Amino acid sequence: MQTRRNFLSLAAAHSLLAADSSLPHFAPRAKRIIYLFMYGGPSQIELFDHKPRLAALHGTELPASIRQGQRLTAMTATQTKFPLAKSIYPFAQRGQSGAWVSDLLPYTAKIADKLCFVRSMHTEQINHDPGITFLQTGFQLAGRPSIGAWLSYGLGSENKDLPAYVVMASTGSKIGDQPLADRVWGSGFLPSSYQGVKLRSASDPVLHLSNPEGIDRDMRRHFLDGLAEMNRDQQSATGDTEIGARIAQYEMAYRMQMSVPELTDLSKEPAHVMERYGPDAKKPGTFAFHCLLARRMAERGVRFVQLFHRGWDQHRVLPTALPFQCAATDQPAAALVQDLAERGMLDDTLVVWGGEFGRTVYCQGPLTPTDYGRDHHPRCFTVWMAGGGIKPGVTYGSTDDFSYNITEDPVHVHDLHATILHCLGIDHTRLTFKFQGRHYRLTDVHGNVVKRILS
């Protein structure tokens, strides 16, 4: 048993060294990613996928030829009617690119020429938990590494004092908020040192960042040295590589006691920068505050920063809830892109905005002159990307007049992952990890790089 353990330990170590030594596979365009995950399913019909024909069809039944027998969620499966609901919000073509953007997103509209809108995203997942799990890990069931963990494993961090993968979560409307499990930024079967580190808005930004009362930094150093020695003895006896990961995490935590307080101190940010991100930028825990922190992390070499913002699940009262979400996220997201561009960082920083699926063209529940809602819709939704090797001022993919089916250039979740990895110089078919006898990868056995959106 001891020999077998040592063999497995060496095999795992070899896998790690192989990944570290061979990447990137080719010259990257992006050094880092900031992923703005709008959890809950933003409505593409209200935001980016303009469908003027719906005005004349408002209240009529969704044609069977359009629905094509698509399965329904439990929320609308018992409905006897599926009335079409137009968007009540005006659209306009923005910038020189002419991209259609809703009036709900005035700040995003101003930077439309810096963005690439992918309107033909699709997924197989129709409910939130498998949907976000799929976007995060490339598989609908829990247990596989998140995209940030894969990048942390493959590329590491540019800053030894901060994690390669940092996560922040904010909450918008209390209507329709979905639970957000820490496992969606987990490391799965990769060593735990590659999982995302969550920054909190209350007390210590990271749990146990401060030393307990009566423990100073020198004493903490002495304690960790002794603990590391015992852990190394245990690892030598058992061959458990996870113990090595634990030692590395303790050391990172020690360094973060100095780096994180400086990172989260916004007192030296110029007034015009704070104003650009909006009034919430001074409020810890808000999306605006997190966007500004994301830029600061990018400056300090954090490889992957992910911002989750909940509250986009508008099954009912969409005219009340959706504007609230847009007001909380529009200005900060646009400010982040502008800020990166002005600092010369957008060229090597890839920014991604999007949720786990879109919303249906038909109304969930009663359709009234002033109120409507939309159910989950996996067949088509919109994400936007900026910087880091992506063409600016591009709208890619098309949907039918109902924003129900893709008519041109479909982009699957695996394709999105393959394209993101490509921007960082990674061939998605070669970033693998052997687990239980199989070589796994983020894109499983699928995925094609969307070459036409690359700059």
Q: What was the pLDDT predicted at 99?
A: 98
Report the 3 state secondary structure along the chain: CHHHHHHHHHHHHHHHHHHHHHCCCCCCCCCEEEEEEEECCCCHHHHCCCCCCHHHHCCCECCHHHHCCCCCCCCCCCCCCCEECCCCCCEEEECCCCEEEECCCHHHHHCHHHEEEEEEEECCCCCHHHHHHHHHHCCCCCCCCCHHHHHHHHHCCCCCCCCCEEEEEEECCCCCCCCCCHHHHCCCCCCHHHCCEEECCCCCCCCCCCCCCCCCHHHHHHHHHHHHHHHHHHHHHHCCHHHHHHHHHHHHHHHHHHHHHHHCCCCCCCHHHHHHHCHHHHCCCCHHHHHHHHHHHHHCCCCEEEEEEECCCCCCCHHHHHHHHHHHHHHHHHHHHHHHHHCCCHHHEEEEEECCCEEEEEECCCCCCCCCCEEEECCCEEEEEECCCECCCEEECEECCCCCCEEECCEEHHHHHHHHHHHCCCCCCCCCEEECCEEECCCCCCCCCCHHHEC
Phi and psi for 215 in degrees, rounded to 5? -110, 115
Q: What was the pLDDT predicted at 206?
A: 73
Q: How do the domains of the chain map onto residue ranges?
A: 21-205+264-453
Phi and psi for 386 in degrees, rounded to 5? -150, 145
Asked if 141 and 171 count as a contact pair (C-beta separation under 8 A), the reply is no
Q: How far apart are CA 32 and CA 15, in angstroms?
A: 23
Domain 21-205+264-453 CATH class label? alpha beta
Q: Average pLDDT by consecutive 10-residue portion of the chain (455 residues)?
A: 44 44 89 97 98 97 94 92 97 98 98 98 97 98 97 92 94 72 96 91 71 76 78 84 77 73 90 96 95 97 96 94 96 98 98 98 94 97 98 98 98 98 97 96 97 98
Q: How far apart are CA 62 and CA 241, in angstroms?
A: 56
Q: How many CB atoms lie within 10 A of CB 51?
A: 21
Phi and psi for 321 in degrees, rounded to 5? -85, -40
CA torsion angle 26 388 259 157 (round to 10): -20
Q: What was the pLDDT predicted at 375?
A: 98
Using alpha carbons, select from 450, 410, 448 the residue that is nearest to residue 119: 410
Q: What was the pLDDT predicted at 173?
A: 63
Q: What was the pLDDT predicted at 175?
A: 52
Q: What was the pLDDT predicted at 104?
A: 98
pTM: 0.89
